[in-house]
Structure formats: C-alpha cells, structure tokens
C-alpha cells in the first residue's frame, strides 16, 4: 500500500505499473469507472501519492472538506 504524505511524491515505473489498470486501459462499465480488481482505489491512491494530500485538500470544494472532516471524526 502506498504511504500518502502531505507533499507530492515521485512515481517510478514499479509503482506506476503496480497501481495502474492492466495494459494501462481505463474502462467505464455501467457508469462505474475502473470496475474490476480494486483498480479505481489503486488509481486514486496513485494520483494522491503523486499529488500530495495538501494539494488534494486545496482543490476540494468547502462543502466537500466539511464532509471529509465529518467522516474522519467518525472513523
């Protein structure tokens, strides 16, 4: 599992190949993006790893930030 941090982290080929879908193809089936083998979760983790949590929080709308805070409090 990738350890996400506040700051962005570089992605090298080993990480890229482990966290991207087979053959690097994106799929949508019945309205579900990357529906197989936890591909959606892995791709999200890869993006957040490369973006950093700080930037992720910065781009969230305020209402979404509030929802995230509530979810974290209840976790």
pLDDT tens by residue, 28-65: 999 999 888 889 999 999 999 999 999 999 999 999 99
Q: What is the pLDDT of residue 61?
A: 97
pTM of the model: 0.85
Long-range pairs, 9-12, Cβ under 8 A, ≥24: 9/49, 9/50, 9/52, 10/50, 11/46, 11/49, 11/50
Domain holding 36, by residue range, is 13-74
In a domain, 53, yes or no: yes
pLDDT tier for residue 23 given thresholds of 50, 70 and 90: confident
Domains held by the chain: number: 1
In a domain, 6, yes or no: no
């Amino acid at each position: 599992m990738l350890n996400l941090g506040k700051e962005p982290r570089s992605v090298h080929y080993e990480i890229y190949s482990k966290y991207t879908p087979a053959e690097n193809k994106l799929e949508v089936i019945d309205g579900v993006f990357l529906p197989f083998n936890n591909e959606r979760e892995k791709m999200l983790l890869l993006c957040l790893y490369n973006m950093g949590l700080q930037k992720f929080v910065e781009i969230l709308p305020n209402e979404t930030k509030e929802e995230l805070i509530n979810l974290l409090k209840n976790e």
